[in-house]
Chains A and B, each alone.
Chain A
């Protein structure tokens, strides 16, 4: 089974990835092979079974809004990000 070109293109767009031409065939068949493997799950009877999103027995509660003084912004800008005058630089977004 092969993954059709249009589906691969949509996936690449969703993933913000380009598919190099020399990888397209191998990637397509490898993804198709995994999807066939995933389809084994369809044989499993899951009627009425709740999905598990997370294993931790925790409730999503808000913590106290306590101020803290750690300032990482300057350090973050120095950690390999392209920046100028304390701001991250980007290509022009609005034409």
Chain B
């Protein structure tokens, strides 16, 4: 097996035994990118010099006995997470040449762990989208089927893992942006509990939803990466002060006694037959592994999607006000006065979808509409949080699809933002509730053109239940592999 095809656990074992050096792994990974990324388009920036520099530091850690599970492991970073001196574009013309002067907390944590960053990955502009087609800089193709989207907004990160162009990747999830591309590309993606991974240095989209998390080849790898990146950080005012970060603790323990609910609303209208069948099949395998499965109901999800879009557009319109042509990145030419500077810079610097969401956000926040839209959506959020809390009194976790359909063709939905938004129906309730949820590959769906499109299932737990989610996901992964 090639190094680039190995998971973190296998690579780490080789590094510890000195059968390979971090520098050799970095070199191998950069070669894999050079060979493959021309057809995938996962990376916006390949940071070769930085990768070798970090690899040499990792080799020092391996020599002096300070290495951990991620030391020397090559990874990719979503391009909305700040990396000092390496451009961070958010896939936008607005920040096309922007060089951050500081590292995000997640970047710091991964440097501390000795992981080796290979480069920055493509995404929907400012994380607004579900297919990565809203990138102003590049198209990313699904490694499983090149005519299809990789999902989004962390499409570059998911594609990089699936195409063996890194051992793991970091993404961010505001309404499903880690889980849905993980499902479309056939990798494992975790959106952790809100507040467990610092948002310091993550370019803000919708601050009360945004959360950083890992995309990996295996469930155990995912837990290891989350252990490395989650911590309390006083520079993020929403970073939680105390919580257990031993996310691998329950992996390998059997599921006897675990109760998993199947909310029937997630399996109704609009769910592709293959997706429903594959997720139901995963439920059977979890049952065979010892879990008790039971149908349940979560009617409050009916209002989750409109509530989410009201709130995220409102937060985006406020967060993106900072891009004014003065302090960051792009500034339009031929400016005569300040108002023109703002308007021309923002109109030319932002893509169509970003401008649409800013306009919508300002509408729902404006006088006369605030109560009807913004406050109403915040109340719907409360009702959904209560409904989840009730279900988690009876169930350890919930099992649902990640997305209603497998990946679609590039261009198929690009002109219809409403249809694209409807694809977020299974993932946004989790962000409204600040809950952790994992996307786990569970098979493929055959498209009419013969493409085999990966499908994932989603496990949703109460706050701080990551270790249990990994336990169930890992048990499934084992029986899934046995079944293959």
Contact = CB atoms under 8 A, between A and B. Distances in A.
Interface of A: 7-8, 10-12, 14-18, 20, 23, 27, 30-31, 33-35, 37-42, 44, 46, 49-58, 60, 63, 72, 75-76, 78-82, 88, 90-93
Interface of B: 97-102, 194-195, 208, 234, 237-238, 240, 303, 305-307, 309-310, 317, 321, 324, 326-331, 335-344, 346-347, 350, 352, 355-356, 358-360, 362-364, 366, 372-373, 375-383, 385, 417-418, 421, 433-434
A44 B376 contact: yes
B382 A51 contact: yes
A30 B380 contact: no
Given A46-B379, A91-B336, A15 B362 contact: yes
26 contacts: A11-B359, A16-B321, A16-B339, A17-B343, A17-B346, A17-B358, A30-B417, A34-B360, A37-B418, A37-B421, A38-B306, A39-B306, A41-B310, A44-B303, A44-B379, A46-B383, A49-B382, A54-B238, A55-B195, A56-B194, A58-B237, A76-B327, A78-B101, A79-B98, A80-B328, A81-B326
A51 B238 CA distance: 18
A54 B208 contact: yes
Nearest to A48: B379
Nearest to B417: A30
A72 B102 contact: yes
Contacts, number: 158
Nearest to A88: B326
A17 B380 contact: no
Nearest to B194: A55
A51 B208 CA distance: 13
B337 A91 contact: yes
Contacts of B97: 80
A34 B418 contact: yes
A53 B381 CA distance: 9
B376 A79 contact: no
B344 A18 contact: yes
Contacts of A75: 101
Nearest to B431: A55
B366 A14 contact: yes
